[in-house]
Amino acid sequence: MTKAQTPGFTGNPLDRADHLRRDAAALQAARLHPAARFLILDDLKPLMTEDGTDLYWARRSDSPEGTTIFLGLDEEGAPRFAVDGKPFDDLPARATDARMAGSVLADGRAGIIAQARSILDWHRRHGHCANCGAPTRIEKAGYSRQCEACGTEHFPRVDPVVIMLAEKDGMALVGRGPQFPAGFFSALAGFVEPGESLEEAVARELHEEAGIRVSDVRYVASQPWPFPASLMMGAFASAQGFELRLDESEIAEARWVSRDEVRAALDGKGDWQAPPPFAIAHNLLSLWSRKD
pLDDT at 100 over 80: yes
pLDDT band at 6 (very low <50, low <70, confident <90, very high): confident
User: Which class for 19: exposed (0-12), middle (13-18), buried (19 or more C-beta within 10 A)?
Assistant: exposed
Q: Cα-flanking dihedrals φ and ψ of residue 124, to 5°? A: -60, -35
Which amino acid is residue 75, in one-letter code?
A: E
pLDDT tens per residue, range 240-289: 999 999 999 999 999 999 999 999 999 999 999 999 999 999 999 999 99
Q: Where are the domains of the chain?
A: 18-125, 159-289
Residue 261 DSSP code: H
pTM (two decimals) = 0.94
Torsion of CA 25, 27, 33, 35, to 10 degrees: 160
Percent of the chain surpassing pLDDT 90: 97
> Is there a common fold for 18-125 and 159-289?
yes
At 1 the pLDDT is 44
pLDDT band at 107 (very low <50, low <70, confident <90, very high): confident
The CATH fold assigned to 18-125 is Nucleoside Triphosphate Pyrophosphohydrolase (3.90.79)
- Tell me if the domain spanning 159-289 has CATH number 3.50.50.60: no
pLDDT at 78 over 80: yes
pLDDT tens per residue, range 123-157: 999 999 999 999 999 999 999 999 999 999 999 99
**Distances from the Cα of 253 to the Cα of 1, 78, 180, 234, angstroms:** 29, 49, 10, 21
